[in-house]
Amino acid sequence: MIYNSLNTIPYKLFVDIEKTGKCFLLNTNITRESDLSKEKLDELVNLWNVLYEVHLGKHRSEESKKIFKLSKKIDHLISLSKVMVTSCDCLRFEYNPEIHSIVTDNGFKLATNSTEAYYKSIDRIERESNNFVVQAEYYKKMLPERKESEDSKDSKEDEFTIDDVLASYCAILGLNIGDFNTLTYNQYFAYQMQVENKINSIKKQNSEANGKK
């Protein structure tokens, strides 16, 4: 099974992928990333990006969405740089038509008319692929600096597990949510909204009561 919707993916799994970047976990039949071809892994990465975009739409501001898109662009450029360097190393050892295609698909030209031209073009491709790193660094400068207060907030939040949070939701709502391990992302989000609405309602009632005194 492949989790392709926030209606089906368990919330705990969503958080795990968010933290680790292990997109292959979206496929329940796969236990190791190495069991997937590059094409299949790319499909899962793209699927994760779609799911995460929906997640951002539920939780984040426009600024956060912009940061996410920049981060994706940075990751893509760094990955391209690594792919090109690895491809060059492989081509130096032995010519491979599939790797040749990877190089040309990314805008580079590999000379094959002579041995000297072949190795010179590999050196050139390796040098020019460093531009991907330069571009990534450029986009990194566009990311806002993380405030110290945000770091301490995240550190405090990490002290609580998902089970702790869900247990508190059960207490606040007076409900038995069920098995925390199978709770889907959308179910979690719905409970979260109920809790926030109830807390806001209690705050409003307390404020009105204090105003009448």
d(C-alpha 31, C-alpha 92), whole Å = 33
What pLDDT was estimated at residue 37? 86
DSSP 210: H
Q: How far apart are CA 211 and CA 213, in angstroms?
A: 6
Q: Is residue 157 predicted with pLDDT exceeding 60?
A: no
**184 backbone dihedrals φ, ψ, rounded to 5°:** -80, 165
Structure tokens at 30: 């796969």
pLDDT number for residue 193: 87
pLDDT above 70 as % of the chain: 86
| Segment 128-148 mean pLDDT | 79
Tokens of 37: 């071809």
The CA-based diameter of the chain, rounded to the nearest angstrom, is: 92
Q: Would you mind telling me the total number of residues written for the chain in this entry?
A: 213
More confident residue, 61 or 7: 7
Question: Which two tokens mark 96?
Answer: 């491979």
Question: According to the model, what pLDDT value does residue 61 have?
Answer: 58
Closest CA to 135 of 188, 196, 190, 78: 78
Statement: residue 142 has pLDDT above 90: no
pLDDT in tens, 73-92: 888 888 888 888 888 988 88
Whose tokens are 């099974």? That residue is 1
CB 136 within 8 A of CB 81: yes
What pTM did the predictor assign? 0.55
pLDDT computed for residue 156 by the predictor: 45
Phi, psi for 10 (deg, rounded to 5): -60, 140
More confident position, 110 or 76: 110
Three-class SS of residue 213?
A: coil
Instruction: Kindly tell me if the per-residue pLDDT of 54 is higher than 90.
Output: no
Query: What is the pLDDT confidence band of residue 4, given thresholds at 50, 70 and 90?
Result: very high
Count of beta carbons in the 10 Å neighbourhood of residue 8? 12
Highest mean pLDDT among 36-40, 91-95, 174-178, 180-184: 180-184
**SS3 state at 10:** strand
**Helix and strand totals (H; E) in the chain:** 9, 0
Identify the residue whose tokens are 């992928």.
17
